[in-house]
Amino acid sequence: MMEIISQPWQWYVAGPSIVVVMFLLYFFGKRFGVSSNLETLCTMGGAGKFSDYFKKDWKESLWNIVFLVGAVIGGFIASNYMSSNVPIDLNPQTINDLSILGFENAGASMVPSELFGWEALSSVKGIGLLLIGGLCIGFGTRWAGGCTSGHAIVGLSNFQIPSLIAVVGFFIGGIVMTWVLLPLIF
């Protein structure tokens, strides 16, 4: 049993587990969609002063912010008490492709130090890349009306055409970044 907890979870454990989360949220009368929290956080921060779009009662979305706080705690628990610190079992080809881009030790940690480490953070380029990445995520997900949870998982499960279009968009954008832009940036 401890073995199952400390080892990385295979896709057939992780995927159905997400549906358990989705079930619980709907069971309690809510919904599964993480990116609307970004909107609620803007509202809580006073964005309503600058745009009517944020003039909402954030207390109605408080449950989702509480969910997000739980997600942070869950990440802490999993990384501190449920981890065996084995490297991510990446395809050797991926590791090779990344080393050509200058990414060393791919899979040794959750994120590459080339983007998230102190050295990267001490350069304008490093901070700029993370900011731009975040900017695209925030702007894109609100324009699209959902992210991986609301569109890819709930929307596709519910046969929503806009969600299918959004997921196609996610992949076109992701492929352009991975295949074209990342080799130019690094």
Partner 1 sequence: MKQIKYLVVGILFGIIMTKGELISWFRIYEMFKFQAFHMYGVIGSAVGLGTLLMWLFKKGIIKNFYGDKVVVAAKGKNWKSPLFGGLIFGLGWALAGACPGPMFVLIGNGIFSIGIVIIGALMGTFLYGKFKQYLPH
Judged by CB under 8 A, the residue of 99, 104, 123, 177 near partner 1 is: 177
Q: Which of 1, 58, 75, 184 binds partner 1 (CB under 8 A)?
A: 75
Told to check if 61 binds partner 1 by CB under 8 A, we report no
| Binding of residue 91 to partner 1 (CB under 8 A) | yes
In the bound state with partner 1, the residue whose beta carbon lies nearer, of 58 and 169, is 169
Least CB distance from residue 33 to partner 1, whole Å? 9
Chain-centre distance for alpha carbon 74: 14
C-alpha span between 91 and 82 (Å, rounded): 24
Q: Which long-range contacts (CB under 8 A, 24 or more apart) does 114-121 make?
A: 114/186
The residue from 2, 110, 124, 184 that contacts partner 1 (CB under 8 A) is: 110
Tell whether residue 131 is a contact of partner 1 (CB under 8 A): yes
Q: How many residues bind partner 1 (CB under 8 A)?
A: 125
Contact partners, residue 126, CB within 8 Å, separation at least 6:
115, 119, 120
For residue 40 the two structure tokens come to 């609620």
3-state secondary structure of 162: helix
Shortest distance, position 14 Cβ to partner 1, whole Å: 3
Q: Nearest approach, Cβ of 138 to partner 1 (angstroms)?
A: 3
Following CA atoms 128, 130, 131, 134 in sequence, which dihedral angle do they give, to the nearest 10 degrees?
Answer: 150
| H helices present in 32-123, as ranges | 36-44, 62-81, 92-101, 113-116, 118-121
57 sits near partner 1 (criterion: CB under 8 A)? no
Q: Site residues for partner 1, window 28-47 (CB under 8 A)? A: 28-31, 34-35, 37-39, 41-42, 45, 47
CB of 176 to partner 1, least distance (A): 7
